[in-house]
């Protein structure tokens, strides 16, 4: 019995419809994929543009920040320069006043904070700071017979002193206190001229931080140690002045007030600072293996 290949028309139409629907679905999918692809491309381009803009803004901000920092640094340097200039001008005015009119007020104000009172169980004298880390120069005889020494600064603070060493022949002692301090500037005593104005700062008869004015009357005088290392000055010196600084019109220490001749008027003597500095450094080298200045 033979089978017939006849397909009903309704079945063919259904298959055709299905095929058309399948093509439409495929086309729709392709269309959606293409649309998504375009969206992704546009999104990527937008993100790229955003990143580029962000990078550009960051670079601009970085440049502006650097420029701002540079301006701050420049302004700070200008302020520091002006402050330094103001200080220099103030010092110059003080020196001019001291040189031309015997007005030592500026010099005294600048240097008195580096002067100290030294009190021991046996005596009282003066000293001055020669370094910011607390080294003090004074006369050795100020410490004679002492078991301890107490240092009083200009702002009335009190410190226990350690004796680094001394030279009894030159009459120099080196002390040390703990802390950070304003120190005095040491000058060059070789350049000091007869007739030059000077001031002495000390504690005469217990009157703390007193000053007296005078001139260099002579130089290279011989002391009781038979050494020609002393300035003669008519600046008033009294017990308690020993170990204090003799300061010139530039505000620099040129001598250490040492002794006076009793029975005479205004006959004071100060050890030349170059000798004092040399002796102090010998003491420091022998005791600390270092130099003070």
Residues known to be catalytic: 141, 171, 242
Residues written for the chain: 293
Question: What is the layout of strands, in order, in the sheet containing 172-176?
Answer: 158-160, 149-152, 115-120, 124-129, 135-138, 172-176, 162-167
CA angle at 177 for the pair 175 and 180, rounded to the nearest 5°: 125
CA distance 181 to 175: 14
Rg of the chain (C-alpha set): 44
Mapping DSSP onto H, E and C, the string for 178-223 reads CCCCCCCEECCHHHCCCCCEEEEEECHHHCCCEEEEEEEEEEEECC
Say whether 91 sits in a helix, a strand or coil: helix
Distance CA(276)–CA(245), nearest Å, equals 11
- Is 283 within 8 Å of 166 (Cβ atoms)? yes
Interatomic CA distance for residues 269 and 246, integer angstroms: 10
Nearest to residue 137, comparing CAs of 30, 274, 289?
A: 274
In angstroms, the CA 189 to CA 22 distance is: 113
């Amino acid at each position: 019995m033979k089978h017939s290949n006849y397909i009903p028309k309704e079945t063919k139409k259904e298959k055709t419809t299905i095929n058309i629907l399948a093509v439409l679905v495929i086309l729709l999918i392709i269309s959606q994929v293409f649309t998504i692809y375009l969206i992704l491309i546009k999104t990527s381009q937008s993100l790229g543009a955003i990143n580029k803009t962000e990078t550009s803004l960051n670079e601009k901000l970085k440049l502006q920040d650097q420029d701002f920092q540079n301006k701050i640094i420049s302004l700070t340097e200008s302020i520091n320069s002006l402050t330094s200039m103001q200080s220099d001008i103030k010092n110059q005015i003080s020196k001019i006043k001291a040189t031309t009119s015997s007005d030592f007020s500026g010099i005294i104000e600048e240097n008195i904070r580096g002067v100290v009172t030294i009190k021991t169980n046996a005596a009282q004298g003066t000293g001055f700071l020669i370094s910011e880390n607390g080294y003090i120069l004074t006369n050795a005889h100020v410490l004679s017979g002492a078991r301890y020494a107490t240092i009083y600064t200009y702002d009335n603070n009190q410190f226990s002193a350690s004796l680094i060493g001394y030279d009894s022949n030159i009459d120099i002692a080196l002390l040390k206190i703990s802390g950070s301090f304003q120190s005095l500037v040491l000058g060059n005593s070789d350049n000091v001229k007869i007739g030059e104005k000077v001031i002495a700062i000390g504690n005469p008869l217990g009157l703390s931080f007193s000053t007296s004015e005078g001139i260099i009357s002579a130089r290279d005088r011989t002391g009781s140690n038979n050494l020609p290392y002393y300035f003669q000055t008519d600046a008033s010196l009294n017990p308690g002045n020993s170990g204090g600084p003799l300061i010139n019109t530039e505000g620099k220490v040129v001598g250490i007030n040492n002794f006076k001749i009793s029975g005479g008027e205004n006959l004071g003597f100060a050890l030349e600072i170059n000798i004092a500095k040399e002796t102090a450094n010998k003491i420091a080298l022998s005791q600390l293996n270092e130099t003070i200045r």
